[in-house]
Structures are given as structure tokens and as C-alpha cells.
């Protein structure tokens, strides 16, 4: 075999594994007291590699000081420190002067027992230009998902997908073998990623990418739980790993002793225990599957199980730890208990009799007073999270998962992305928790040198309209109570165009948040806060004027249109009554006031409100009834004959109105719907061009292509007014269309071609979701199918099923369309049975 060099990627910030990486880079996290990256280096040496390039970025001096010139491991090390973040491939490109032969790329932050020799042999035998090492995992979300054909050529891949995008449980491990001529495709001095940029470019150039499926153990240590699991797997011997140290057998276990330590004869050693140098273990203590670093003292009668202790730690008497990670330089006094997991970052002092509740995370340099019962994380909520955004929203228990400190840090993380002197427009709903967290957010924004325009209590749609129409506003933020969980609060962050943050920007906010990489300005440069009442007044006035400009209210009045509207105790009570009054539309408004108790039980009041509105509409012979949900985005339509339109019928009704309007105007309207929206009725709309897909990362140009963007949940965005969902404008637009074309919803209902459409959930463990995606794709091989969002399979021209794994719960979302109920139920039962078979395999 010809000479092979290696590149070790060691530049990541380790944001998802904070606070373990607070002061050390992730590749240097100890696994059985040896840095992960050192184990990777040893595996490379085993296959004869003697020259290694290490790519640095975060805290490079720690890695350099440990490995020096590499002579202790029998290799020559070159260090490359890029001056900026150039992405994965861009960083490798910075080392091109050392890469004049075949080279193998490995991450420094993984644990694996793959046979590197077999990977290199496959690459050489196939005369490959670039070989990607693949493996199957239970949860593929954090990795690049890959499909290879029978010849080993890669056909499709997607980097870090959502569950809806996953098409296999076979993933890219980040271990590559590359020929040096590939480097010419990597531009110099600009960001360039392997999966996002290089691989598509090579495929476009006709260069085959080969996939080698490796067998064995592989784990990307990306978060605290995976760090714990690596040790569990080592203790359970799920991975072939040479644990260093002198082996001493005990009646119930094995001790790996890595130095001179004092272990009392009464100490119990159960299963696997690793102990470093200069460690003292007190009498009658019990260690069960534990690794302990250097300079650690553990008092008498302590019980430690499934735990990892780093260096320079003192633990008092009668302490109990299970599933703990205790970092460097911690002092823990007597009788401290953590029976269900704790992460104790470096430099903390824990007083006597402290009790930690389940999975508490304590960030660095904190002092826990004696006898404290720590039920919440000191910095983060009741459960450690890898990300703060869920579907573009920051959501958590008010004052528990999202407290004032966190709100302030989110503000600093977000505002630090903006230039100094920028302006953020901020609004909120009525809730006390929203007001509290908004005020903390204000402080964080101002500390970065960014200004605030505070619109105070205002509907989110009005705030977003204000942002979109004002060039001096660079971003926005909104605080509101969650409808799904009254104990939770939601923070929504907006761009300068009033859109929710796209995935890329949200990740930048998270990166700043976890790194605490905030801009701090001199006190003279701090931002200013403008909360004059005129801001709120002008925002509402501009919103109203735009509605007056676009909605033909004369047609509505001229047709004697009458409407019943239930505002459901929500935020639109601030402005919708005024709009209806100004437009002189005859109406009856219900529940146009704030009621906290009813909002907390809103799901109960929804059905009650629907029937109440339906009765009033039919009794008074009004043309329409509408329920505006509390946040002012979603709506429910009730026809003139009292029929409560379900979500599909409401969507079809609005599309029918758009089709009639387009025909009258002699043009076509473009509509965008989600991938799971029914399409049975599409052929009925001769003047609509309907696209389906995902608009999570839409840009302004994308929105501008469409006249209507809708969901199957009662959300409508008429882009002539705004690109975001707005229940107020949608209600007025529907009234205008009904009036202009002198048609009633009951007439449209009679024309609707009824069919079967259902959305349901099937329980599926998190670790089997990737397998389910793969099984669906395999099953769909000979049928028309799509992997645009989940896996969609057509049984015939009209009947289909779409499966999208739920992003946040242990479920599979099934969407089914069929010609009739009998066929729909048959389709549901068929696939439900298949899923159960696959789950049980």
C-alpha cells in the first residue's frame, strides 16, 4: 500500500456538549482518562500512518501542548490554524501543502473501533478518488444521511436532515479517504463544506463518490448524553477498546489502575473501574462502572455508579452519585446526593447535604449552598437540550426552562449577530411571564450596542408588518404564552423582513448562546430603548391603513355582509374591533377581552365557541362565522348554514375562492402548500398553480412568487399584504372574495368533492425512526414515491400515504389521502401493520 497521511479535524467549538467544553476543546474530553483524540491518533498509527495534520481552531494551545511534535506517538505532526471558520472542506484545503499523497480524514471527537486498514484497502482496490465511510445508526438527525447503489456509488445524501427529510439510517461518519487531486476543487480562503459544497460539486463533475460500509462501533460524541453512553458502552464491552492501566481483578469486577493511588481494602469494585494517578478512596466506598482521573480524593462510605470523574476533585463522606459527570477542580462536601444524573462543570463548590434532582446541569464556577435541593439547572432548564429552537420557536416552562438569565443570554446571542447601532422591534402578549422575560431580553440587547423599539402589547402580525415596512428595523422579537401548554412561554425571533429565522441563522444564535460569545460594548455605546406610546399607535395605524388600501371594504359593505367573529380572549382584541369599525363592516364580536383562566383551558372553549358562533350565524342569517385563535394567526370558518368547516374543507374553500377570483381577473394565481396537504382537488382549480414542499428556509424572493401560502391548519398568508400568517387579514380577504363574487360558503361546500384525508400518529422509539425511513424507501422502490419531506408513496393516481417522523416526540406522523373512507382505512391499516412488523424485526 502506498504512503498515506492523515488529517484530524479538531477545530469544533463543542457547543452542543457544553458545559463540558467550557475550557477544553471537545477532542480533548477524556475517555477512561485519555483524550478522545489521542485514541484516534493511536488507531491511525496502528495502520502505519506516520505523518498527521491536525486542524485547529478552538483553544488550539491545549491540543498543541498535549501532542507537541507527535514524537511520543511515533508520528510527525503538522498543525494548521485557519484564521477564520472556513467549513470542513475549506479547513482541509488550508493544509494542502502537506497533502501530496492519499490522505485519511478523521474527526478528533469520536470513539470507534472501525478497522481503518479495511477502509484504506477498499479505497485503493476500487481506485477511488474519494471514499466516504458509512455506518447505520439509530438516530441519524445529527449526521449526513446517505444512499449507495449496489456498486457502492453514492446516489444521494443530505447533511443533518430533519426527521421529515431522513431517507435512510445509513450515515456519513465523517471518515474520508481522499486523493490529493480532489483538493483543486476546494477554493482557497472561503467557507466550503464537504457535504454541502464539495460532494455535490464532484458529482456534478462526474467524479464517483464511493461509500464503504464499516462494521463495528462508532459514536460521534456530540452531547453530554452521548459522552456518558460512550463510557457505558466501554464498561459493557460493546466497543473494542484498550483501556490503559494495570489490571487488578476483584471478586465482582476489574480495576484498571493508571498510577500510584491509595485504595482502602474495604472498597468494593464492581464490573469495570478505571482509576488514575494520586487517587485516594476512603473506607467502605463502592465503585460500580466508574472512571476516575488524577488527583481525586473520595471520602468514606461513598457510592459511585455509572459516573465519570475528571481531575483534581475532592468528594466528602457518604456521597452518592449515579450517572454523573464531574469535571475538573470541583469540591463536593459530605453527604451530597445525585441519584439520577448530574453534570457538574468545572470549578464548583457544593456544600453539605445538597441533593440534585434528575439530570441537573450545573455550569462552571457555581457555589451550591449547604442543604440546597437543586431541582433545576443552574443555567438551563429541567432537562439538558442540544438546541434552543424548535421549529423556529424558543419554547419552555416560564421561569423554569426559560428564566430571566436565559432570556438575557438569548438576546445577547441574537443581537451580537447584528451590527452595533442596529434596531430591534419588540412586542409581547398580555402575560406577566412575557413581560418579565421581555424586560430581561431588553437588557441583553442593549448590552450589545443594539437599540430597541418597544411596541409593548401588540399582535405578532402587527409587529411583523411593522418590521417589514420599516427600513430602519433590522430584526424583531415577540414574547407570548404557548397555546399548547399554558405553563410555557414562546420567544419568536424575526429577520428584517418579519420572517422567522431560517435554520442557518438559528444555529448561529445557538452557537453564540452556548459559547457565550456575546459582544460587549463600552457603556457610552450601549443601545437605547424607545418605548413611547406613539410607536404602538403608529404601528397599528400603518397596519390599518395597509388593510384599507388592499381590502375592498366598499364591496363588503355594499353586499350587506354580516359576520360573527369570536376573538377567543386573544391578542387581536387590541386591534380587530377597531378595524371592523373603521371599515364599517356589520359584525358581532364575541370574547373580545382578555381572560387568563379561559386561555389556560382554550382547547375546551374551542368546541364551545364553534357551536355558539354557528348558532348565531344561522339564527341571524349572517353570511359567515370566524374563530380567530388567541395568537391571531389561525382561524376556523363557519358557513352561512352553520357548518363548521374542518381544516381540509376550509383550505379547499379558500382555494375555490381564489380560483373564482383568478378566472374573473383572467389570470392565474400561484399557491404554496405543505407537502402533506391533500391534492385530490387540484384538478378542479383551473386558474391556480399549486406547489407543495417546505418553506421553512424561504427567502423574500421565494415568498414573492406566490399569491397565497397556506397550511392545513387554518393558517393563510396572502402575500399581497404580508408573507406571514395573519388571521385578521385572512378573515377580511375571505369576506371580500365572498362579497365580490356573490357566493356563500354553503354553496362552495356543496361543490366540494369529498374524499378521505387523515393525519394520525403511530408510536415509534426515537432510535428506530431512521430504520423506519429506510424501510419505507425500500418498500416504495417499485412504486411512485418522493423523499422531499419524509417518504410519500402513491398507491395509484389519487391515493397516497406520507410518513414523516415527528421531530420532538417518539411518533411517526402519517398523512393519508384516498378516494373514499373505505380505501383510506384500508390504506391506514395496511401501513400500520407494516410499521409494526418493521418495529418488531
String of DSSP letters for 579-609: HHHHHT-EEEEES-S--HHHHTTHHHHHHHH
Contact 139, 219 (CB under 8 A): no
Specify if 228 maps to a domain: no
Q: How far apart are CA 634 and CA 629, in angstroms?
A: 5
Where a domain ends, among 486, 516, 541?
A: 541
Q: Residue 358: its pLDDT value, please?
A: 81
Q: Are 625 and 650 part of one and the same domain?
A: yes
C-beta separation of 139 from 191 below 8 A: no
Which residues are within 8 A (CB) of 552 and not within 5 positions of it... i.e. 6 or more apart?
Answer: 736, 739, 740
The domain of 625 spans 552-751
Q: What is the pLDDT of residues 828-839, one digit of tens each?
A: 999 999 999 999
Across the strands, what pairs with 718? Answer: 708
Hunting for cell 449577530 — which residue is that?
417
Q: Indicate the residue among 751, 778, 798 that finishes a domain.
A: 751
Cα separation values, 555 from 242, 373, 583, 830, Å:
81, 65, 11, 51
Instruction: Tell me whether residue 625 is in a domain.
Output: yes
Residues 6+ apart with CB under 8 A from 545: none
Torsion 132-133-135-141 (CA) sign: negative
Residue 236 forms part of a structural domain: no
Quote the pTM value.
Answer: 0.68
Q: Which of 517, 541, 565 is the last residue of a domain?
A: 541
Q: How far is CA 524 from CA 87, 422, 447, 732, in A?
A: 36, 15, 11, 47
Examine residue 647 and state whether it is found in any structural domain, yes or no.
Answer: yes
Same domain, 706 and 625: yes
Q: At what angle do helices 727-740 and 460-469 cross, to 10 degrees?
A: 90
- Give SS3 for 421: coil
Query: Which one, of 485, 506, 486, lies nearest residue 494 by Cα?
Result: 506
Report the candidate in 211, 213, 199, 226 with the shortest Cα–Cα distance to residue 139: 226
**CA proximity to 215, closest of 276, 286, 278, 134:** 134
Q: Report how far apart, in Å, the C-alpha atoms of 306 and of each of 160, 254, 324, 480 are.
A: 30, 14, 7, 41
Task: Please give the backbone phi and psi of residue 97, each rounded to the nearest 5 degrees, phi first.
Answer: -65, -25
Nearest CA among 55, 109, 324, 326 for reference residue 221? 109
CB 317 within 8 A of CB 332: no
Report how far residue 533's alpha carbon sits from residue 529's, in angstroms, rounded to the nearest whole number. 12
Same domain, yes or no: 741 and 800: no
The span from the CA of 695 to the CA of 333, in Å, is 53
pLDDT reported for residue 375: 73
Shared-domain flag, residues 27 and 171 = yes
Burial 353-390 (b: 16+ CB within 10 A, else e): bbbbbebbbbbbeeebeeeeebebbbbbbbebbbebbe
Q: How far apart are CA 525 and CA 227, in angstroms?
A: 42
Express each pLDDT in 301-334 by its tens digit. Answer: 999 999 999 999 999 999 999 999 999 999 999 9
Q: How far apart are CA 718 and CA 575, in angstroms?
A: 19
Inter-CA distances, 643 with 610, 616, 617, Å: 10, 12, 10
Helices (H), 267-364: none
- Single out the residue of 733, 425, 743, 714 nearest to residue 579, CA to CA: 733
Residues 189, 190, 192, 198: is their CA dihedral positive or negative? negative
Please tell me whether residues 211 and 296 are part of one structural domain. no
Cβ burial 250-271 (10 Å sphere, 16+ → b, else e):
eeebbbbbbeebebeeebebbb
Please check whether residues 719 and 827 belong to one and the same domain.
no
pLDDT at 212 (0 to 100) = 93
- Contact at 8 Å (CB) between 688 and 658? yes
Of 199, 411, 309, 289, the closest CA to residue 298 belongs to 309
What pLDDT, in 10s, does the model give residues 684-702? 999 999 999 887 778 888 8
Q: Is residue 379 part of a domain?
A: no
Query: In this structure, what is the dihedral angle of CA atoms 287, 293, 299, 300, given to the nearest 10 degrees?
Result: 20
Asked if 74 and 105 sit in the same domain, the reply is: yes
C-alpha cell recorded at residue 354: 445538597
CB 599 within 8 A of CB 593: no
Residue 342 DSSP class: E
Mean pLDDT by 10 residues, the chain (841 residues): 90 79 90 95 95 91 94 95 85 94 95 95 94 85 75 78 65 93 93 90 93 92 90 92 92 94 95 96 97 97 97 97 96 95 92 89 86 69 50 82 90 96 97 95 97 96 95 96 86 94 87 84 93 94 95 94 96 94 95 86 86 96 96 95 94 96 94 94 94 82 92 94 94 97 94 90 87 90 88 94 85 94 95 94 82
Cα-Cα end-to-end distance for the chain: 41
Same domain, 191 and 115: yes
CATH of the domain at 282: 2.160.10.10
- Tell me, yes or no, whether 380 lies in a domain: no
Domain harbouring 497, CATH code: 3.40.120.10
Instruction: Clarify whether residues 102 and 88 are in a common domain.
Output: yes
Four-CA torsion 733, 734, 735, 739, nearest 10 degrees: 100
Q: Torsions phi, psi of 762, nearest 5? A: -125, 125
Same domain, 416 and 515: yes
Q: Is 611 helix (H, G, I), strand (E, B) or coil?
A: helix
Q: Which residues contact 533 (CB under 8 A, 6 or more apart)?
A: none
- Provide the pLDDT for residue 354: 92
Instruction: Count structural domains, the chain.
Output: 5
Q: What DSSP assignment string belongs to 3-66? A: --EEEEEE----GGGTTTTSSS-GGG-EETTEEHHHHHHHHHHHTT--EEEEEE-SSHHHHHHH
Scanning 205-283, the segments in alpha helix (DSSP H) are 224-235
In terms of domains, do 583 and 456 share one? no
> How many angstroms separate the CA atoms of 49 and 421, rounded?
52
Residue 552 phi/psi, 5° resolution? -85, 80
Residue 381 lies in a domain: no
Nearest to 564 by CA among 639, 476, 454: 639
CB 672 within 8 A of CB 715: no
CATH number of the domain bearing residue 45: 3.90.550.10
- For residues 719 and 572, state if they share a domain: yes
Amino acid at each position: 500500500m502506498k504512503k498515506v497521511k492523515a488529517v484530524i479535524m479538531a477545530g469544533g467549538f463543542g457547543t452542543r456538549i457544553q458545559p463540558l467544553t467550557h475550557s477544553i476543546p471537545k477532542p480533548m474530553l477524556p475517555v477512561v482518562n485519555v483524550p478522545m483524540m489521542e485514541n484516534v491518533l493511536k488507531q491511525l498509527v496502528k495502520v502505519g500512518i506516520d505523518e498527521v495534520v491536525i486542524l485547529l481552531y478552538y483553544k488550539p494551545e491545549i491540543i498543541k501542548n498535549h501532542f507537541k511534535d507527535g514524537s511520543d506517538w511515533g508520528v510527525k505532526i503538522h498543525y494548521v490554524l485557519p484564521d477564520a471558520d472556513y467549513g470542513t472542506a475549506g479547513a482541509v484545503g488550508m493544509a494542502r501543502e502537506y497533502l501530496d499523497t492519499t490522505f485519511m480524514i478523521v474527526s478528533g471527537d469520536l470513539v470507534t473501533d472501525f478497522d481503518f486498514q479495511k477502509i484504506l484497502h477498499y479505497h485503493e482496490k476500487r481506485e477511488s478518488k474519494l471514499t466516504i465511510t458509512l455506518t447505520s445508526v439509530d438516530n441519524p438527525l445529527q449526521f449526513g444521511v446517505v444512499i449507495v447503489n449496489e456498486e457502492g456509488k453514492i446516489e444521494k445524501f443530505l447533511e443533518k436532515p430533519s426527521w421529515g427529510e431522513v431517507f435512510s439510517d445509513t450515515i456519513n461518519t465523517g471518515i474520508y479517504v481522499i486523493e490529493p487531486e480532489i483538493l483543486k476543487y476546494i477554493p482557497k480562503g472561503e467557507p466550503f463544506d464537504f457535504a454541502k459544497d464539495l460532494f455535490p460539486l464532484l458529482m456534478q463533475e462526474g467524479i464517483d463518490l464511493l461509500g464503504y460500509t464499516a462494521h463495528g462501533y462508532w459514536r460521534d460524541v456530540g452531547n453530554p448524553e452521548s459522552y456518558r453512553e460512550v463510557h457505558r458502552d466501554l464498561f459493557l464491552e460493546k466497543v473494542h477498546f484498550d483501556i490503559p492501566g494495570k489490571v487488578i481483578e476483584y471478586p465482582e469486577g476489574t480495576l484498571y489502575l493508571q498510577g500510584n493511588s491509595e485504595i482502602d481494602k474495604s472498597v468494593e469494585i464492581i464490573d469495570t473501574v478505571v482509576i488514575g494517578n494520586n487517587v485516594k478512596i476512603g473506607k467502605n466506598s463502592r465503585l460500580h462502572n466508574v472512571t476516575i482521573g488524577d488527583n481525586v480524593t473520595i471520602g468514606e462510605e461513598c457510592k459511585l455508579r455509572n459516573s465519570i470523574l475528571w481531575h483534581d476533585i475532592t468528594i466528602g463522606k457518604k456521597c452518592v452519585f449515579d450517572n454523573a459527570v464531574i469535571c475538573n477542580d470541583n469540591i463536593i462536601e459530605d453527604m451530597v446526593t445525585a441519584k439520577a444524573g448530574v453534570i457538574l462543570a468545572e470549578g464548583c463548590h457544593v456544600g453539605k447535604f445538597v441533593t440534585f434532582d434528575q439530570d441537573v446541569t450545573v455550569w462552571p464556577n457555581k457555589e451550591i449552598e449547604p442543604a440546597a435541593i437543586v431541582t433545576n439547572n443552574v443555567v438551563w432548564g429541567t432537562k439538558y437540550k442540544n438546541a434552543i429552537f424548535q421549529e423556529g420557536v424558543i419554547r419552555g416552562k416560564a421561569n423554569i426552562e426559560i428564566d430571566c438569565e436565559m432570556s438575557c443570554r438569548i438576546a445577547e446571542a441574537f443581537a451580537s449577530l447584528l451590527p452595533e447601532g442596529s434596531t430591534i422591534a419588540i412586542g409581547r402578549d398580555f402575560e406577566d411571564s412575557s413581560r418579565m422575560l421581555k424586560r430581561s431580553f431588553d437588557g441583553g440587547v442593549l448590552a450589545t450596542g443594539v437599540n430597541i423599539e418597544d411596541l409593548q402589547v401588540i399582535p405578532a402580525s402587527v409587529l411583523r408588518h411593522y418590521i417589514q415596512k420599516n427600513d430602519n428595523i433590522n430584526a424583531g422579537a415577540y414574547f407570548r404564552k404557548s397555546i399548547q401548554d399554558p405553563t410555557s412561554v414562546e420567544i419568536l425571533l424575526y429577520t428584517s423582513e418579519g420572517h422567522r429565522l431560517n435554520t442557518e441563522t438559528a444555529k448561529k444564535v445557538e452557537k453564540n448562546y452556548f459559547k457565550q460569545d456575546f459582544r460587549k460594548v463600552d457603556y457610552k455605546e450601549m443601545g437605547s430603548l424607545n418605548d413611547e406610546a406613539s410607536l404602538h399607535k403608529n404601528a397599528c395605524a400603518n397596519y390599518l391603513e395597509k388593510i384599507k388600501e388592499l381590502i375592498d371594504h366598499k364591496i363588503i359593505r355594499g353586499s350587506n355582509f354580516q359576520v360573527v367573529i369570536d376573538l377567543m380572549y386573544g391578542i387581536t382584541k387590541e386591534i380587530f374591533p377597531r378595524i371592523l369599525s373603521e371599515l364599517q363592516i356589520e359584525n358581532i364580536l364575541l370574547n373580545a377581552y382578555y381572560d387568563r383562566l379561559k386561555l389556560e383551558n382554550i382547547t375546551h372553549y374551542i368546541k364551545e365557541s364553534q357551536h355558539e358562533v354557528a348558532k348565531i350565524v344561522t339564527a341571524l342569517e349572517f353570511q359567515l362565522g370566524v374563530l380567530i385563535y388567541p395568537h391571531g394567526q389561525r382561524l376556523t370558518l363557519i358557513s352561512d348554514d352553520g357548518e363548521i368547516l374542518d381544516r381540509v374543507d376550509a383550505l379547499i374553500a379558500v382555494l375555490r375562492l381564489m380560483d373564482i377570483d383568478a378566472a374573473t381577473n383572467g389570470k392565474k394565481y400561484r399557491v404554496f402548500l405543505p407537502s402533506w396537504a391533500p391534492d385530490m382537488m387540484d384538478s378542479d382549480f383551473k386558474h391556480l398553480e399549486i406547489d407543495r414542499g417546505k418553506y421553512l428556509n424561504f427567502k423574500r424572493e421565494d415568498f414573492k412568487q406566490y399569491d397565497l401560502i397556506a397550511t392545513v391548519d387554518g393558517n393563510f398568508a396572502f402575500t399581497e399584504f404580508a408573507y406571514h400568517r395573519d388571521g385578521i387579514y385572512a378573515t377580511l380577504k375571505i369576506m371580500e372574495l365572498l362579497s365580490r363574487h356573490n357566493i356563500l360558503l354553503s354553496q362552495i361546500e356543496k361543490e366540494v368533492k369529498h374524499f378521505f384525508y387523515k393525519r394520525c400518529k403511530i408510536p415509534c422509539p426515537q432510535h428506530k425512526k431512521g430504520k423506519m425511513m429506510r424501510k419505507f424507501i425500500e418498500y416504495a422502490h417499485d412504486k411512485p414515491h418522493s423523499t422531499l419531506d419524509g417518504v410519500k408513496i402513491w398507491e395509484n393516481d389519487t391515493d397516497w400515504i406520507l410518513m414523516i417522523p415527528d421531530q420532538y416526540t417518539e411518533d411517526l406522523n402519517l398523512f393519508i389521502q384516498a378516494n373514499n373512507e373505505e380505501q383510506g382505512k384500508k390504506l391506514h391499516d395496511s401501513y400500520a401493520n407494516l410499521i409494526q412488523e418493521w418495529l418488531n424485526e
